[in-house]
Amino acid sequence: MTRFSEVDSVQGSQGMGKAQDIDQLRAADIMRREVVTVRDSDTIGEVEVIIADAGVSGVPVVTVDGRIVGVISMRDLVNQHAAGDPEPLPLPTVDDDGEDSLIEPSRPKSAEVRAADLMSPVIESTHPEVDLRTVARQMIDRNVHRVLVVEDGQLRGIISTFDLLRALASQPAPR
């Protein structure tokens, strides 16, 4: 069920190899090239399984033709559950004729909630050649935990705060 998008064959964060000076590293040097995505039409239950199986905290949301339309995170999913009963109970009321009846709420049931309903349509992206300090500053300024790496309108990879931390940890200790 997990959808991976193999976007490049150049070595990325999962095989960074020799430590490079942090000032020389670019987005392409640490990005993950196997990007887990969900479709905008996937149910929230499907999204939860995909994210859990992949062991990631958020994923890009794409259309059936691969166009990036947003990002959905574990936080979005937790907020959905914390908002209350995903399937609200009918509300009791009294009809005009004095009879008790139930009003069915119009909120969609959880099985009907789709990734497009919960995703953030704001997509933070960068180019593969952007330096890591700029990527880190973008994450801090925008308060996001992942940035999509896009070139010529195509998803090339993803950088998470964990990927940045891994790159920093691979640096030699200051003397």
Please report the domains of the chain, with CATH numbers, ordered by start residue: 3-7+25-87+104-169 (3.10.580.10)
Which pLDDT does position 107 carry in this prediction?
47
Which pLDDT does position 84 carry in this prediction?
62
* pTM score above 0.85: no
Q: Which residues contact 156 (CB under 8 A, 6 or more apart)?
A: 7, 8, 28, 31, 33, 128, 149, 150
Which pLDDT does position 18 carry in this prediction?
52
Q: Exposed, middle or buried by CB within 10 Å (0-12, 13-18, 19+), for 117?
A: middle
- pLDDT tens for the chain, residues 1 to 175: 445 554 433 334 444 445 567 788 999 999 999 999 999 999 999 999 999 999 999 999 999 998 999 999 999 998 887 776 555 555 555 555 556 555 454 445 556 889 999 999 989 999 999 999 999 999 999 999 999 999 998 999 999 999 999 988 887 777 6
Which pLDDT does position 9 carry in this prediction?
32
Which pLDDT does position 112 carry in this prediction?
82
How far the first Cα of the chain sits from its last, in Å, is: 47
Q: How far is residue 85's CA from residue 107's CA, in Å, rounded to a whole number?
A: 11
